[in-house]
Structure formats: structure tokens, C-alpha cells
């Protein structure tokens, strides 16, 4: 059976040793500077190139496995379904926003998104799709139930869940991701992330809140 690579492509069963290899790819990746060659990966992971090709098929397979590997690490926590009142909603939204900001501003996310963007540019857009599904769309699917539960509880009002989510997405992310991808050296401290998450949540509730809107804030 020559295609051990297929096993990795189909399910996410990764042996510990393979995990080490993928961690080496990640390490190399966020070292940046174009260092991501197959030879470099093999050296870093102390394995042979032949093993890399046996396990992952080719360079794209290795990158794909790495993206999946990283995605499998960051399955973030969910929200608390019962007793959803205004405070709990705001808290959950803030948590989502803060988590999302922390993810997109991490070096790992930036590096992986850059690779995926470059990959998408060259036609075969597998990586782009995978990153999108595990990032933008995954958080959408996780957040939408909260939004709809909050709507049913009469806390917020909207017609189109997708549109509401996209607005939230925009309020949270703003220009952060594109700036980071393009190499702008902004750094988000934990405090800034918390403040941004709170601001975005306030703004979102002002736009979509059903009862009396959240207090207007003019700064930030």
C-alpha cells in the first residue's frame, strides 16, 4: 500500500511522531523567512525526507496536514446554554470576540494564513478552503447558535443570522487581520484584546439589541 498519505488526508489520525513532524513545520513556519523547505522540515524534525513523502505524499500534503493539525488544536470552548440573559449574552459575545482576536493575531495564525493565501494564488486552492473552513466558517457556525438563542430569548433582533454574524465579525476584526498579513507590526496585548472585545460587543448590541440598547460609548 503505497499511499500512507491518503490515511492522513482522509481522517485526522496522526501518530505522536507525525505530530512532532507537524509541530516542526509549524515552528519553521512561524520562523518565517522562507525557511519552509522539505529538507529543512526533515532536518528540524530529525526525520528523513523519504519519510515525509511516505507519510504526507508531497509538499502540499504536508502543508494540508499541518493546517488540519493546528486546527485540531484550537477547538475552542463553547458557551453556556442555560439562563441566557443580557449579561450572559454580552459575556459570551465578549468571550467569542476575545478568543477570535487572540487567534487571528497569533503568529501561528498569521503564518498559516499567509501560506494559504499564497497557495490560493497559485490556482489549486485547497489550503485556502481548509483555512477558511476552520477559521472564518468554523467560528460562524459556533457563534450562530448563540445568536439565535439570544434572538429567541428576545435579547437581540435580526432577520438574517449570517448577516448578523458577519457584522459581528467585522466589528471584532476590523483591519487587524489584513494588516497583520501584510506585515504591519501591530501587537495586541491581552488588555487590548479584552477592550476590543468589549467594544465590539457593545457596538453589536447597540446595533442589534432588542430591549434598550447598550450604553453608547464614544471613545474607542
Partner DNA sequence: GCCGAACCGTACCGTACGGTACACCCTTTC
Partner DNA sequence: GAAAGGGTGTACCGTACGGTACGGTTCGGC
Does residue number 177 form part of the binding site for a copy of itself (CB under 8 A)?
yes
- What's the helix, strand, coil split of the chain in %, to 5? 70, 0, 30
Q: Binding string, 77-116, against a copy of itself, x = CB under 8 A? A: ----------------------------------x-xxxx
Rule CB under 8 A: which of 118-157 touch a copy of itself?
A: 118, 120-123, 125, 128-129, 131-132, 136, 157
CB of 147 to DNA, least distance (A): 42
CB 156 within 8 A of CB 205: yes
Rule CB under 7 A: which of 7-26 touch DNA?
A: 17
Does residue number 166 form part of the binding site for a copy of itself (CB under 8 A)?
yes
CB of 212 to DNA, least distance (A): 58
Number of residues that bind DNA (CB under 7 A): 17
CB of 47 to DNA, least distance (A): 3
Distance CA 170, CA 173 (A): 5
Distance CA 62, CA 49 (A): 11
Distance CA 219, CA 198 (A): 12
Q: Which residues make beta-bridge pairs with 156?
A: 209
Nearest alpha carbon to residue 52 among 89, 91, 94, 24 = 24
Does residue number 63 form part of the binding site for a copy of itself (CB under 8 A)?
no
The grid coordinates listed for 35 are 525557511
Q: Binding string, 57-86, against DNA, x = CB under 7 A? A: -xx---------------------------
Amino acid at each position: 500500500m503505497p499511499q500512507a498519505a491518503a490515511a492522513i488526508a482522509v481522517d485526522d489520525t496522526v501518530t505522536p511522531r507525525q505530530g512532532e513532524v507537524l509541530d516542526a513545520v509549524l515552528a519553521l513556519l512561524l520562523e518565517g523567512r522562507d525557511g519552509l523547505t522539505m529538507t529543512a522540515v526533515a532536518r528540524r524534525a530529525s526525520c528523513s525526507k523519504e519519510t515525509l513523502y511516505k507519510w504526507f505524499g508531497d509538499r502540499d500534503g504536508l502543508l494540508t496536514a499541518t493546517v488540519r493539525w493546528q486546527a485540531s488544536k484550537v477547538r475552542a470552548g463553547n458557551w453556556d446554554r442555560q439562563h441566557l440573559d443580557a449579561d450572559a449574552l454580552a459575556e459570551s459575545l465578549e468571550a467569542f470576540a476575545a478568543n477570535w482576536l487572540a487567534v487571528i493575531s497569533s503568529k501561528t495564525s498569521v503564518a498559516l494564513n499567509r501560506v494559504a493565501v499564497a497557495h490560493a494564488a497559485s490556482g489549486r486552492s485547497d489550503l485556502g478552503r481548509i483555512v477558511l473552513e476552520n477559521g472564518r466558517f468554523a467560528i460562524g457556525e459556533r457563534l450562530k447558535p448563540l445568536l439565535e438563542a439570544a434572538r429567541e430569548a428576545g435579547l437581540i433582533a435580526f432577520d438574517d443570522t449570517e448577516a448578523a454574524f458577519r457584522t459581528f465579525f467585522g466589528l471584532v476584526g476590523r483591519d487587524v487581520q489584513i494588516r497583520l498579513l501584510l506585515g504591519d507590526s501591530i501587537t495586541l496585548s491581552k488588555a487590548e484584546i479584552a477592550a476590543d472585545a468589549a467594544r465590539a460587543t457593545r457596538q453589536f448590541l447597540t446595533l442589534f439589541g432588542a430591549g434598550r440598547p447598550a450604553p453608547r460609548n464614544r471613545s474607542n
